Amino acid sequence: MSNEYVLEVKGLNKTYGKKRVLNNVSLYVKHNEIVGFIGPNGAGKSTTMKCICNLVYPDSGEIIINGYDLFKEREKALGCQASLIESPGLYLDMTGRENIELIAKLRGISKERVEEACEFTELRESLNRRVAGYSMGMKQRLALGIAILSKPKFLMLDEPMNGLDPSGVIHLRNTLQRLVKEEDMAILFSSHQLGEVEKLAHRIIFIDKGEIIEVPDIMSNIQRYIVQVSDLDTAVKTIVNILGEDVVETIASDSIRFEIQNQDILSQVLYKLLSKKIKVYDIYKDNVDIETIYAEIYSKNHTE
């Protein structure tokens, strides 16, 4: 097995009755990497993650965590990871500190590490309050503190931003970035908040209908440009005739944004504009954001 990866998932398959929910799912996460895992509801994200943390048994496939085979060396593999799947599992009638100390005692964690985890949560005096009175953000921070008690190499989070207000989301993002640097950890997380995935993830894995969607070609082929012109109406008609209405957008009184698949088409667009005596004052490449890529992938998959 490669020392490059903290997680390797190979050929994962899972069916419930006659329904196949995972079809030959393969993915990897490198050490000290933050990977976003996205897809629409029912795509297979949660099932994949539950297989990785051994809550669901796949029909076939291989899962390696920090070099240990999950099905042959279960305790060693699980000892290298921590997971927060769905809502944090906390004892609401206990204080935050009591929650941490209980799990630490069960796992044989040192008092020094308990104090590090308590400090990590940044809950301070709130650790002495019952968890039932915590906000969602506070519960998330407490759960993360418990998750890192054993110093896992791999952390997996399923929709960690659900229920958080904007300040909670920002705090969580900063916390996860800090974990990677200070705790020598890799993170796989799922989220429907595409903007946050884009800000946090070093790399993104897409899944749909139980299959991993290969996106490098899509990402590299979509090129978006903004052009500033002297005659907006004529320019729009000219570009639409070449590219079609779906990929052309007027964004200002003199500017148009459009998507192309290769540079030859860009040359064709510019030639047509100039041939109609339309002055091109400026043209520059616009970054393709994750929402554009998401729409491209899933609109195609769900119209076939």
pLDDT of residue 183: 86
Report which residue type is found at 54: N
Q: How far is the CA of 298 from the CAs of 28, 207, 224, in angstroms?
A: 22, 10, 19
For residue 43, give the DSSP letter. S
pLDDT in tens, the chain (304 residues): 457 899 999 999 999 999 999 999 999 999 999 999 999 988 999 999 999 999 999 999 999 999 999 999 999 999 999 998 876 789 999 999 999 999 999 989 999 999 999 999 999 999 999 999 999 889 989 999 999 999 999 999 998 888 788 888 888 888 899 889 888 899 999 988 888 888 899 989 999 999 998 765 555 566 789 999 999 999 999 999 999 998 899 999 999 999 887 778 888 999 999 999 999 999 988 866 777 778 777 776 555 4
pLDDT attached to residue 1: 44
From the number of C-beta atoms within 10 Å of its C-beta (0-12, 13-18, 19+), residue 57 rates as exposed
| pLDDT number for residue 215 | 67
The torsion angles phi and psi of 232, rounded to 5 degrees, stand at: -65, -50
Continuous segment of H or E residues that includes residue 52: helix 45-52
- Residue 51: what are its φ and ψ, rounded to 5°? -65, -40
Residue 25 corresponds to which tokens in the numbers above?
A: 């799912």
* Calpha distance 47→143 (Å, rounded): 21
SS3 132: helix
- Specify the 3-state DSSP secondary structure of 185: coil
* Nearest residue to 122 (alpha-carbon basis) of 193, 174, 82, 191: 174
Runs of H (alpha helix) within 148-262? 166-182, 194-200, 216-221, 232-243
The pTM of the full predicted model, rounded to 2 decimals, is 0.74
**Domains of the chain and any CATH numbers:** 5-215 (3.40.50.300), 223-287 (3.30.70.100)
